[in-house]
A and B are shown apart, each in its own frame.
Chain A
Amino acid sequence: KAGVTQTPRYLIKTRGQQVTLSCSPISGHRSVSWYQQTPGQGLQFLFEYFSETQRNKGNFPGRFSGRQFSNSRSEMNVSTLELGDSALYLCASSSTGDTQYFGPGTRLTVL
């Protein structure tokens, strides 16, 4: 089976812009989780979608949003970018939500 794919792999934006990141899970997986990782901060959980419904949510401001489509592909959107949003954004897929497999990540730089 193909692994989790994320696009784009690298992105440079300026403050105030918005960005959309995409994640395609492993075939058959219905759960997609998103994480933010910055140096020294570890994995910060953003949200999880399961069968097109947001099932879990972390403590991030409303500027961070997501959705999941009927084919389980998921998108994450960040509006009004801030310098502190520069990070590696990771997506992970799972059949049930527990055993998660990570994609390669999208490295976002906000200037």
Chain B
Amino acid sequence: QKEVEQNSGPLSVPEGAIASLNCTYSDRGSQSFFWYRQYSGKSPELIMFIYSNGDKEDGRFTAQLNKASQYVSLLIRDSQPSDSATYLCAVVGKGFSGGYNKLIFGAGTRLAVHP
């Protein structure tokens, strides 16, 4: 089982719709979760982080965390063609020393927003 799993996509949504991106993780002890956006040929850009169960909103983005189900999601409201990118989920997991200090990335979900 991969430590962080995402559906590779592509997830295709029409402009103006809600895009829902999902991520599951294997280590129940993980406490910190991140979403990055990566445009083709560019480096990843941090868009959201979430530590507590529930929802966290920032503009058109909402991150949702359910630790009992080991599930993180990112909702993008009013999707725009400029949101077309790969979205990477990242979870802080156990590092070499056993402490939670290693950021583990999923393989990413490609989102395509079509006009």
A→B interface (CB under 8 Å) = 33, 42-43, 45, 48, 50, 55-57, 88, 90, 92, 94, 96-105
Contacts and interface: CB of A to CB of B under 8 A. Distances in A.
A100 B96 contact: no
A42 B43 contact: no
Contact of B96 (A56, A92, A102): A56
A1 B101 CA distance: 24
B44 interface: yes
The 8 closest A-B pairs by CB, nearest first: A42-B107, A102-B43, A97-B101, A56-B95, A43-B105, A56-B102, A98-B92, A105-B43
Contacts of B44: 43, 90, 92, 102
Contacts of A88: 43
A99 B43 contact: no
Given A50-B101, A92-B103, A100-B90, 8 more contacts: A42-B105, A43-B88, A43-B105, A55-B101, A57-B96, A98-B32, A101-B46, A105-B43
Majority secondary structure, A binding face: strand
Contact of A98 (B36, B45, B88, B101): B101
Given A43-B44, A43-B88, A57-B96, A99 B34 contact: yes
A99 B46 contact: yes
Interface in B34-54: 34, 36, 42-46, 49
Given A42-B108, A99-B34, A101-B46, A55 B97 contact: yes
Contact of A55 (B36, B49, B95, B108): B95
A105 B41 CA distance: 10
Contacts, number: 59
Interface residues of B, number: 23
A90 B43 contact: yes
A99 B97 CA distance: 19
Given A33-B103, A97-B103, A98-B103, A55 B46 contact: no
Contact of B101 (A56, A101, A103): A56
A102 B45 contact: yes
B43 A45 contact: no
B3 to A, nearest CB: 11
